[in-house]
Structure 1
Amino acid sequence: MAPPPFRAEHVGSLLRPQDLLDARNAVDGGKTPDEAGLPATEKRAVADVVALQRGLGFRAVTDGEYTRTRFWGLTWDEFEGTIRLQDADASMFRLYHPDVVSLIEKDRKVMPGDSVIAGGKLRHDPAKSVSNVHELRLVQSVTPRENWGDIKMTMITPAWFHMRYKQGRAYTPEAYANDAEYFKDVAKVYAAELDHLYKAGLRNVQFDDPGLAYFCSEKFRKGWEEDKDNIGTVDELLDAYIQLYNDCIAGCPSDMHIGVHLCRGNFIGGRHFAEGAYDIIAKKLFQNLNATTFYLEYDTERAGGFEPLSVLPRDKYVVVGIISTKLRALEDKEEMKRRVYQAADFIAQGRGESREEALKSVCVSPQCGFSTHSEGYPLSLEDEKKKLALVREIADEIWGEP
């Protein structure tokens, strides 16, 4: 099955080894990367995690997000024109945004960290946009060249920082007059970054986007409607984000696979942030967003049923995330296979085709990454291996192909 997606997938992040965490903590404590041994430790850790994935039979290998401390990485920090915020005032944020809500709860008193705004016009400088290429080179260095096209890189949604800020606060008044101007330049820098990575050999991109799933949350939608500062409706915001995606990827070559992963949060301790079925966004998501593949969280009832898959177009794929990365207990294989078939049945019903035909549009994965932040997750490395092996086994028994 080529190009991606593959029948057995995982969402990107994997549990970090302790020596890598120790080296990064030493850097945070004041040592230089070389003094802490970070470059060598990072290189060795990525080689080991690529070997783990390939040994388990996964083709769409990642670096485990080992070079990042948070799943969104440094992409935005490296764009020209951004300002990194420290101790930002709460008045800047949509306090009903699920991520933000979790950080301002009683006794936490923490505002979102690693947050940026546009302080000037956004621009892409290949000499400064280095972190993603660094990740790619690490994986390429331990992957046979004929398999470089399988390598998957996760990237943060272009709407990530816009969604958490109040109306007009994702940029300064000196930088942009309105969202339309801002989105236009966001699309330009993302398109330039994708071109930069394509020239470096990347052919498989997965955008990570909890925000799209938050449109399924009644709490978020209610908060938006009650916020008198907002311009337009919450559904018009969804339309704007879909158009932003389409503008970002419009120039991608035909052999560059683009997928989008939706989840409702995967914080330290296995916590989630939002609930709500895909029904309310499914038609716009599947039919208007020009990605090839949708990686969907489906491990618990908070994501609803498979009914929304009935509107999946014939030229799109869905990766059903039915294996939990939040709970240590290993799922029952036969029950998980039944769920895959159930998903296919809804696709078949919507298209008027057989289950066998619909299964060609389905893949399987865990519902999210195993470590979307650097540490603090409930599973052990052995648990992770068992979960990934189960994904591979399910795929083998249903499809018998990569």
Structure 2
Amino acid sequence: MANQTATKLHYDIVGSFLRPAALKQARSDHEAGKIDSQQLRQVENEEIRDLVEKEIKAGLKVVTDGEFRRSYWHLDTFWGFSGVKHTIPEHGYFFHDEETRADSAQVVGKIAFDPEHPDLKAYQFLYDLVKDEPGVIARQSIPSPAQFYAELARGAENEAALKQIYPDQEELVHDIGEAYRDLILALYDLGCRDVKLDDCTWGMVVDSDFWKEMTNGDFNREQLSDLYVSLNNAALHDLPEDLRVSTHVCRGNYHSTWAAQGGYAPVADYLLARENVNAFYLEFDDDRSGDFAPLAKVPAGKQVVLGLVTSKKPELEAKETLLKRINEAAEYVPLEDLELSTQCGFASTEEGNKLTEQQQWDKIKLVVETAQEVWGK
């Protein structure tokens, strides 16, 4: 079995953190031409060092760089592959009550791993910060292959470009899978032993209202679910035994708002039963996520990380409520295979959610203390 430090602790994080004021200012200055890329990277380095110190002080044993070098949780990774370009469509993503910035990724050639992918340099810096810290693991989060496919097919222009380059869908699935597998193995060669695939596609698939609007009702959930799990698994074959691979399922996390709703039951036979990961990070912070019953589909021995503490709102959950809900989830997954975390990161994009940095750390403290009460220190 892969590295299980996080599961032994039974508490975890999803990965992104609110961008500090100094980093926001540096990004603004860089965009305005006041500082160059090297000066921006120096600020990023300083803020990441400070963040990692805070993570370790908070008791976290799996740390991230807060995604401080990224503008988006997903697009920056897509832009790093060969055969893909950064585009600016007419609209961004439509959330419950807000529209995001308008950026996308469009295929312009055959998709392949680029040895100069920016996620590699980002991970190397993080790994070097903690490689001598006993018991601390540096995690790399990347958007899932299914998410990549969904972006390349988002909108008429993207879809037309995709069909021109890849008239054969099997070839597309293969190339995406191999590009991702090569990226994961390159991260492994740098010392990475914990990779998390962030994935909003499942959160969209379960939302029937979303698909009625997007496709005028012409939507086959089973076919799309089968495609998504095939895309993800295409990247997850023949990987090193000591590499922990997990996935986080999200329903949208932008500026404290959301994009989709619906429980896991419609996709449980695909996502939970078939995806070749060691652990599932699942949102359960409000009614939009449904109940725990679909967890019965999780194969024995795999971990479920319960996202019970919301990262969208500053108010702290009652510990008694969290304890009750953990016990309810244990009716479907053995308590030893459960963990606790926030439902998502605190800043899936550089805008961040609507809470303060102190409230962010208060949330993490609640997660750690609650987990220690349930599973012991």
- Residues 60, 151 of structure 1: 8 Å contact kept: yes
Distance (Å, rounded) in 1 between the aligned partners of 2:163 and 2:205? 27
Which residue is equivalent to 2:300?
A: 314
* Cα offset, 1:217, TM superposition: 0.6
2:199 is equivalent to residue 196 of structure 1: no
Which residue is equivalent to 2:353?
A: 377
Which residue is equivalent to 2:374?
A: 398
- Residues 117, 170 of structure 1: 8 Å contact kept: no
Match 1:182 to one of 167, 172, 178: 172
Match 2:21 to one of 15, 18, 28: 18
- Residues 3, 255 of structure 1: 8 Å contact kept: no
Moved more, 219-228 or 201-210: 219-228
* Cα offset, 1:377, TM superposition: 2.1
Match 2:224 to one of 237, 242, 247: 237
Distance change (3 Å), C-alpha of 1:218 and 1:173: closer
Could you tell me which amino acid in structure 2 is paired with residue 143 of structure 1? V
* Cα offset, 1:141, TM superposition: 2.7
Q: Could you report, residue by residue, the CA deviation over 1:119-160 in whole angstroms, capped at 9, with x for unpaired residues? A: 11112221x21x212221222232143658721111011122
Match 1:210 to one of 187, 200, 205: 200
Which residue is equivalent to 1:323?
A: 309
* Cα offset, 1:101, TM superposition: 3.4
Moved more, 144-153 or 299-308: 144-153
- Residues 90, 102 of structure 2: 8 Å contact kept: no
Distance (Å, rounded) in 1 between the aligned partners of 2:285 and 2:188? 33
* Cα offset, 1:306, TM superposition: 1.0
Q: Could you report, residue by residue, the CA deviation over 1:225-274 in whole angstroms, capped at 9, with x for unpaired residues? A: 6365x7xx231111111011111011211111111101111111x00111
Which residue is equivalent to 2:273?
A: 287
Which residue is equivalent to 2:336?
A: 360
Distance (Å, rounded) in 1 between the aligned partners of 2:164 and 2:135? 42
Q: Could you report, residue by residue, the CA deviation over 1:271-301 in whole angstroms, capped at 9, with x for unpaired residues? A: 0111111111112211111111110011101
3-state SS in 1 of match to 2:269: helix
Could you tell me which amino acid in structure 2 is paired with residue 215 of structure 1? V
Distance (Å, rounded) in 1 between the aligned partners of 2:171 and 2:161? 10
Distance change (3 Å), C-alpha of 1:364 and 1:120: same
Residues matched between the structures, number: 371
* Cα offset, 1:20, TM superposition: 0.7
- Residues 95, 258 of structure 2: 8 Å contact kept: no
2:84 is equivalent to residue 82 of structure 1: yes
Which residue is equivalent to 1:118?
A: 107
Could you tell me which amino acid in structure 1 is paired with residue 112 of structure 2? R
- Residues 61, 136 of structure 2: 8 Å contact kept: no
- Residues 3, 193 of structure 2: 8 Å contact kept: no
3-state SS in 2 of match to 1:276: coil
Which residue is equivalent to 1:3?
A: 4
Could you tell me which amino acid in structure 1 is paired with residue 300 of structure 2? R
* Cα offset, 1:212, TM superposition: 1.2
Distance change (3 Å), C-alpha of 1:332 and 1:148: closer
Q: Could you report, residue by residue, the CA deviation over 1:333-371 in whole angstroms, capped at 9, with x for unpaired residues? A: 121111111111232xxxxxxxxxx11110000001011
Distance (Å, rounded) in 2 between the aligned partners of 1:362 and 1:179? 37
Could you tell me which amino acid in structure 1 is paired with residue 52 of structure 2? V
* Cα offset, 1:375, TM superposition: 2.2
Which residue is equivalent to 1:352?
A: none
Q: Which runs of 5+ in 1 are unaligned?
A: 91-98, 348-357
Distance (Å, rounded) in 1 between the aligned partners of 2:83 and 2:211? 31
Which residue is equivalent to 2:246?
A: 259
* Cα offset, 1:33, TM superposition: 2.8
3-state SS in 2 of match to 1:339: helix
Distance (Å, rounded) in 2 between the aligned partners of 1:218 and 1:385? 35
Which residue is equivalent to 1:52?
A: 54
Distance change (3 Å), C-alpha of 1:334 and 1:365: same
Q: Could you report, residue by residue, the CA deviation over 1:201-221 in whole angstroms, capped at 9, with x for unpaired residues? A: 111011111111111111134
Distance (Å, rounded) in 2 between the aligned partners of 1:261 and 1:376? 18
TM-score of the aligned structures, taking structure 2 as reference length: 0.91
TM-score of the aligned structures, taking structure 1 as reference length: 0.86
Distance (Å, rounded) in 2 between the aligned partners of 1:394 and 1:338? 11
- Residues 11, 368 of structure 1: 8 Å contact kept: yes
3-state SS in 2 of match to 1:102: coil
